[in-house]
Amino acid sequence: MELIWDGLVKAFHLLIMLDPEVLEVTWLTLKVSGTATLVSVLIGVPLGATLALSRFPGRNFLVSLSNFGMGLPPVVVGLWVSIFLWRSGPFGELNIIYTPLAIIIAQAVIASPIVTSFTLAAIQQISPRLRMQLLALGANRAQLVWSLVKEAKLGLLAAVMAGFGGVVSEVGASMMVGGNIKGQTRVLTTATVMEVNKGNFDVAIALSVILLALAYGVIVLLTTLQQWRNNHG
């Protein structure tokens, strides 16, 4: 218990004193995971909507692939992204391995199946009668999709929360493609692992508390938006 208390005190001290390194790592964590979540939304929402509203050969395979992707081990994602971004890999000439962009790519790969599957489920739960009514009113394909996406907005916000939660807490992929470089690619999860390996458990606990606070803060904002939309239509 003393170790935990020391960690909590350390976290409070680091935040109150506005420790530059902690602030830098926290900001990079928010920026990287936030951007990865945005990318996953731009990919996952259209893909999930397409799978929900279309029928074509191979659709069930794509749906099962999306659902399977929700459980992708981050270290596996990190491995394959590293292979593609490594200097001898297909995209090695871009020189983005061990950069924040590499972490964003890996995290977007992790989050995209989550957002896709949540979007698919949210739109499939909408009554088919609504689709028929919209078509009867003369809605074209784009108008139909947009109306259904708006109708499923609560489920889509849940998709965003699930996607963000899945990437802000992962460490394997970030460590492998980012390298945990101080001042460049070190985020809260990789910094926590490093401090544990060094035996600095009080600092590791402090960083974990800050990570939890950051993740909870973002989820609170999204939840507030979700419930506000639910109450106000």
pLDDT at 134: 74
pTM: 0.88
* Phi, psi for residue 93 in degrees, rounded to 5: -65, -15
Q: pLDDT per residue over 116-169, tens digit each?
A: 999 998 888 887 777 777 767 777 777 777 778 777 788 888 889 999 999 998
123 and 51 in contact (C-beta within 8 Å)? Answer: no
Q: pLDDT per residue over 73-109, tens digit each?
A: 999 999 999 999 998 888 988 999 999 999 999 999 9
Domains assigned to the chain: 2-232 (1.10.3720.10)
- The whole-angstrom separation of Cα 117 and Cα 64 is 9
Instruction: Report CA dihedral (50, 53, 54, 59) to the nearest 10 degrees.
Output: 70
28 and 97 in contact (C-beta within 8 Å)? Answer: no
Percentage of the chain lying above the pLDDT 90 cut? 37
Question: Exposure of 76 by Cβ count < 10 A (0-12 exposed, 13-18 middle, 19+ buried)?
Answer: middle
Count, residues in the chain: 233
131 and 144 in contact (C-beta within 8 Å)? Answer: yes
49 and 142 in contact (C-beta within 8 Å)? Answer: no
- Please name the residue that has the structure tokens 């680091």: 14
> HEC string of 119-131?
HHHHHHCCCHHHH
